Structure 1
Amino acid sequence: MHNNTQRIVITGIGLTAPNASSLSEYREKLINGQSEITEINLRYFGKAPAGLCTFPETKYRKKKENKKGTRAGCISVYCAHEALADAGLDLSSVDRSKIGVYIGLTEHGTVETENEVYNIRQYDYNTSYWTHHHNPRTVLNNPAGEITLSLDITGPHYSIGAACAAGNASIIQAVQMMKLGEVEMALAGGISESTGSFGIFASFQAQNALAVADDPRRASKPFDLDRNGIVISEGGCVYVLEYLDKAVARGAKIYGEVVGYAMNSDARDFVLPYGPRQAECMRLALQRANLNPEDIDLINTHATGTKQGDIEECKAIREVFSGSQKTYINNTKSIIGHAMGAAGVLELAGNLPSFTDNMIHPTINVDNLDPECALPNLVLNKAIEVDSINTILNNSFGMVGINSTVIVKKV
């Protein structure tokens, strides 16, 4: 049964970020430009700036269950429960076979594998000491599956591997499945447990793409001439997506409607981003949303603080939005670092309250704006208040040339 004309809205948000574990606290800190990036000390690797989350890990699941599962699963279960609570939904009144669970991941299983190899080291690498939990922990559907186990959801669940575009990809997947009538409601979001892996830090360092700074809170500097790379963060964010008519009928609060989206591929390089394809991605999302560039009030950029990445995205934005005088631009990674698979959804979540408070949170740590990133209406270092915000365009791009754009509109 196709519901292609159905409008789909966000009615619940559950999150944990490196500076907050609820949307209200998160929003307040973003508006204040308050970063809580700290320093991590990883085995084999050493010290680096990182975004770490502190959330009540046993709020919805016992310690024993957390031990059996994964860090990613623990984050996703927390976010899913928080999203449902925020949406005011009691699942006992819902057909749980009609709920889809779609979780975006940059990678999964790396942390578990590193931990096990480290563990059997003390037994002279004897694999009979390898945990029997390893396979269910490392299958790609694990963080999505752990949500269904915790909430007794019997509809489809799977993870979406789309590098750092995965959070946006999960929203897109959920909307498409709801429009197809495959599910009637969805839990969609993204998770990052990247700070548990020394290999991820070591690899970014080998690419000269890992940020360093005396003060870790100032390490993430997208658009700044002196930026020197990415700050790796963990985190998670899950949305409740519902049909507009059902949300209205039950008197739900509505954060916004997903009105446009697009994904495409650069087909050029393993790691280097490509502006012209990013521009095509934004154009396609606008076309599907029946919007012009000047209809977009706010662009939340993907910019990670790597030289070429920031410049390519700015070129793409300049190309698509050069005719728009009223489109503001900001960046959330400057405050929370790069939450990989959770980046797109966390960054969108932090901006959705703009629809009600008309504030735009700043891009922080910009002391010396790179002329190649000097876009008009870039909100730097201090939040601003505007007359109204009705549309947000959210970009997320990832390795191996994957691009995603999601457009959300005030209802």
Structure 2
Amino acid sequence: MEKVAITGRGLITPLGNGLPVNEEALRLGRSGTVLVPAWKEMGLDSQVAGLADEDPPCELLDPKIKRFAAPNSRMAVAAVCEALKEAGLTKETLKNYKVAIINGCAGSAYEEIHEGARTFEKTGKCKKVKPLIVPRVMASSAVSIMSIALGVTGETYDISSACTSGAHAILLASRLVNTGIYDIVIAGGSEELNWVHALGFNSIRALSTAYNDRPSQASRPFDTERDGFVIAEGAGIVILEKPEHAKARGVKPVSYITGIAANSNAIDMVVPDAASNAEVMKMAVRDAGISPSDIDYINTHGTATPVGDPIEMDAIQRVFGSNPAINSTKSMTGHMIGATGAVEIIFTSMMLEKGFISPSINLDNPEPAFAWADIVRKTRTNLNLKHAISNSFGFGGSNACIVISSADA
């Protein structure tokens, strides 16, 4: 593919709001997982989560539009505010360009749906249900709110592909930039969290339950004592454009997307597949015009499930051997579902830009089967990283891999 410039990034995560706060947390290896007292009181099996600021400050959200914005949308708009500033853009200057928006969101305001249904069941009256429930709960709410807040009239839509949603959005946005139809494409992912959302993952025993009394230790990818993922929320947004377009605007890219790939397992709804995972990584590296030995770092999907981690590590070993450094930033943030792919692409971009790799925390007893791997357990600094990949593997067998390259590569 022709490389696509990342010129702006915005983050709202369990580690905090904004790029500087998230960078500091990554360097320190600080966990964003906390106990959720309401979940404990309700009796959910998993009582920990990665909670983000659901109402972050953002000048683009006026009271009129905020009525339609559930936390998912508010976090997305706040992230786009930061991304525009880094890219040297404003709502007014965006009007000079052809712009599209693609957002990834696996679900949305499940609790509001539950509350609306429960209200009707109790009263039998439609007028008792909140009238704005539909625009607030639809999965495309965030991208619609961004479009209205920014006045963007190009195509805007949501990608819903479970844990791969955010990565798919950035993948498709990169293709759209390469077509030349748009000057700038705003892309990323967002997801809000509530007990209704968590309930389903509790029911299939996908979440960590053994560390409710030690929340910061609950997310432990690659560790022998891992027992499931920590569910989380957040938003990550990037500004994408062709390198020559960024140059014409007088903006230097912070990094590039140089390879993209996606495929499907077509085997199982919830269990990943090593062959498909390996193939999507090969495809992405090939698309970037480089070889597996050129990859310096892999931001894994790394959810800390007993089944998923070994399958991903098998796939990585097949393609890369023991060469790249490996970590899972989910050890700190938890799993932000639809937002996680976008956030982790931004994390990877940040590490390439700043020359560091964050640790996989809580790796107290590494799985012996992963002894071959260069898993980062302490922050590494002063690195010259050229190329990295970010993996996203979702329920339904949906896989995506993005190659991110440094601005100097």
- Correspondence 1:24 to 2:23: no
Distance 1:152 1:300 in 2: 34
State whether residues 271 and 307 of structure 2, in contact with CA within 8 Å, keep that contact through their aligned partners in structure 1. Answer: yes
SS at match of 1:102: strand
Q: In the alignment, does 2:389 pair up with 1:366?
A: no
- Shift of residue 248 of structure 1? 1.8
Q: Is 1:170 aligned to 2:169, yes or no?
A: yes
C-alpha distance after superposition, 1:296-347 (max 9, x if no partner): 011000011101100100000010011x63x111110000100111111112
Greater mean alpha carbon deviation, residues 199-208 or residues 81-90: 199-208
**Which residues in structure 2 correspond to 1:286-301 (within 5 Å)?**
286-301=285-300
Could you tell me which runs of 5 or more consecutive residues in structure 2 were left unpaired when the two chains were aligned.
none
Deviations 1:208-257 (A, max 9, x none): 21112021111101111111111111100100111101212222132211
Q: CA deviation at 1:63?
A: 4.8
* Deviations 1:245-295, CA, capped at 9 Å, x for gaps: 121222213221111011000001110111110000000001111111110
Is contact 2:54-2:74 (8 Å) kept? no
1:347 to 344, 368, 373: 344
Q: Secondary structure at the match of 1:232?
A: coil
- The count of corresponding residues between Structure 1 and Structure 2 is 401
Deviates more, 1:244-253 or 1:233-242: 244-253
Aligned residue for 2:113? 113
Q: Is the 8 A contact 1:96 1:155 kept in 2?
A: no
* Alignment deviations for residues 134-161 of structure 1 (CA, whole Å, 9 cap, x no partner): 2222333211010011111111100001
CA change 1:387–1:138 in 2 (3 A) is closer
Letter in 1 for 2:329: T
Q: Report what 2:73 is aligned to.
A: 73
1:93-112 residue pairs with structure 2 within 5 A? 93-95=93-95, 98-112=98-112
Deviations 1:38-94 (CA, angstroms, capped at 9, x unpaired): 112248554610111126634322455323322111111111111101211134234
Q: In structure 2, how many angstroms separate the alpha carbons of the residues matched to 1:375 and 1:339?
A: 28
Aligned residue number for residue 207 of structure 2: 210
Contact 1:23–1:350, Cα closer than 8 Å, also in 2: no
- DSSP 3-state at the match of 2:198: helix
SS in 1 for 2:8: strand
TM-score scaled by length of structure 2: 0.93
Distance 1:49 1:118 in 2: 26
Query: Which residue of structure 1 lines up, in the alignment, with residue 310 of structure 2?
Result: 311
Give the whole-Å Cα distance in 2 for the aligned partners of 1:349 and 1:311: 25
Partner of 1:33: 29
Asked whether the 8 Å contact 1:96–1:154 carries over to 2, the reply is: no
**Residues in 1 aligned to 2:139 and 2:188: alpha-carbon distance in whole angstroms:** 15
- 1:338 counterpart = 2:328: no
Once the 2 structures are TM-superposed, how far is the Cα of residue 112 of structure 1 from its aligned partner?
Answer: 2.7
Task: Please list, as runs of the form range in 1=range in 2, the aligned pairs for 1:364-403 lying within 5 A after superposition.
Answer: 364-380=361-377, 382-385=378-381, 387-403=383-399
Q: Which moved more, 1:266-275 or 1:102-111?
A: 102-111
| Deviation string, structure 1 residues 356-404 (Cα, Å, up to 9, x no partner) | 3321100000111112333421101x10125410111000010010000
Asked if structure 2 preserves the Cα contact closer than 8 Å seen for 1:354 and 1:360, the reply is yes
Correspondence for 2:353:
356
- The answer to whether the aligner puts 1:13 opposite 2:12 as a matched pair is no
Q: Is the 8 A contact 2:348 2:390 kept in 1?
A: no
- The separation in 1 between residues aligned to 2:374 and 2:232, in whole angstroms, is 27
**Distance (whole Å) between structure 2 residues aligned to residue 76 and residue 95 of structure 1:** 20
Between the aligned partners of 2:225 and 2:102, the Cα distance in structure 1 is 37
The 5 Å alignment of 1:168-207 reads 168-193=167-192, 195-196=193-194, 198-207=195-204
Instruction: Give the drift of 1:128.
Output: 2.8
- Which residue in the other structure is 1:244 paired with? 243
**Aligned partners of 1:264 and 1:281 also within 8 Å:** yes
Q: Could you tell me which residue of structure 2 aligns to residue 234 of structure 1? A: 233
Counterpart CA distance in 2 for 1:174 and 1:96 is 19
Change (3 A) 1:65 1:90: closer
Given the alignment of the two structures, is residue 272 of structure 1 paired with residue 271 of structure 2, yes or no? yes
In 2 relative to 1, CA 341–86 (structure 1 residues): closer, same or farther, beyond 3 Å?
same
Aligned-partner Cα distance in 2 for 1:183–1:112: 35
1: CA distance between counterparts of 2:78 and 2:50?
Answer: 18
Measured in 2, the distance between the counterparts of 1:310 and 1:373 equals 10
SS of equivalent to 1:408:
strand
Identity of aligned residues (%): 31
Name the CA distance, whole Å, in 1 between partners of 2:15 and 2:115: 26
Q: Secondary structure at the match of 1:407?
A: strand
CA contact (8 A) 1:314 1:375 kept: no
Query: Per-residue deviation at 1:131?
Result: 2.0
* Paired residue type of 2:200: S
TM-score (norm 1): 0.92
2:106–2:139 contact (8 Å) kept in structure 1: no
Quote the Cα distance in structure 1 between the aligned partners of 2:120 and 2:4: 48
Q: Which residue matches 2:92?
A: 92
